[in-house]
């Protein structure tokens, strides 16, 4: 995540779906799907299509058929992940501009009519920065911005959890820049 900040503009880049973990899972699913489908197909044909995959002990119905089904399912999921990466879903920025007096939250969505998701508000309408910290089995560390007459807008990125110290530092930076209060920190 790249931040740009000067006296008048605070801009934070949001990575979105082009994370190492998404590349890892898309690649792993593709190779796993290929192996499952090849073993299922080999059991149907009665010989190994790939020498390192042993399908001799697998009969086509029901094991080979199920392996083909799992292979196709994993392949479709892999294609979905690669498309999300290709389209840069979730990538964008949060910009707070004192020169223009505006806040702009921008993200790329799925292709179509609403591909560009852009929220623009006046800085004078920002009431507070709220931090939600919930620890335990499923920790939640989310930074929200509260705008008059609107629902709270989450500013933290999805899938890359931040430490408590990082979220407190980010909240303090943003609150100081915007001259608003921070809520939710004890």
The per-residue pLDDT for range 6-24, each reduced to its tens digit, is 678 999 898 889 999 999 9
Confirm whether pTM is higher than 0.85. no
Distance CA 59, CA 44 (A): 7
Distance CA 133, CA 137 (A): 13
- Domain extent listing, the chain: 3-16+89-183, 21-87
pLDDT at 26 over 60: yes
Confidence band, pLDDT 50/70/90 cuts, at residue 4: low
Cα angle, residue 80 at apex, residues 74 and 85 outer, rounded to 5°:
125
pLDDT at 186 over 70: no
**What pLDDT sits at residue 101?**
95
**What pLDDT sits at residue 135?**
81
Which of these CATH numbers, 2.60.40, 1.25.40, 2.40.128, 2.30.29, describes 3-16+89-183? 2.30.29
Could you give the percent of the chain with pLDDT greater than 70? 94
Q: Can you tell me the mean pLDDT for 118-134?
A: 93
pLDDT digits (tens, 9 = 90+) for 160-172: 678 888 888 999 9
CB 12 within 8 A of CB 93: yes
Q: Can you tell me the mean pLDDT for 117-130?
A: 95
Cα angle, residue 49 at apex, residues 47 and 54 outer, rounded to 5°:
70
């Amino acid at each position: 995540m790249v931040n740009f900040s000067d006296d008048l503009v605070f801009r934070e880049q949001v990575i979105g779906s082009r994370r190492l973990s998404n590349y890892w899972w898309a690649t792993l699913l593709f190779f796993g799907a290929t192996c499952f489908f090849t073993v299922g197909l080999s059991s149907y044909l009665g010989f190994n299509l790939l020498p390192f995959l042993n399908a001799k002990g697998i009969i086509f119905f029901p094991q080979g058929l199920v392996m083909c089904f799992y292979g196709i399912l994993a392949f479709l999921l892999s294609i979905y992940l690669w498309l999300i990466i290709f389209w840069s879903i979730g990538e964008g920025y949060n910009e707070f501009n004192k020169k223009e007096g505006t806040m702009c939250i921008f993200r790329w969505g799925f292709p179509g009519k609403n591909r560009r998701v852009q929220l623009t508000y006046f800085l004078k309408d920002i009431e507070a920065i709220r931090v939600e910290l919930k620890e335990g089995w499923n920790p939640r560390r989310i930074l929200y911005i509260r705008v008059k007459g609107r629902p709270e807008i989450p500013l933290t990125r999805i899938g890359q959890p931040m430490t408590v110290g990082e979220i407190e530092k980010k909240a303090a930076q943003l609150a100081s820049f915007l001259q608003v209060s921070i809520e939710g920190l004890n």
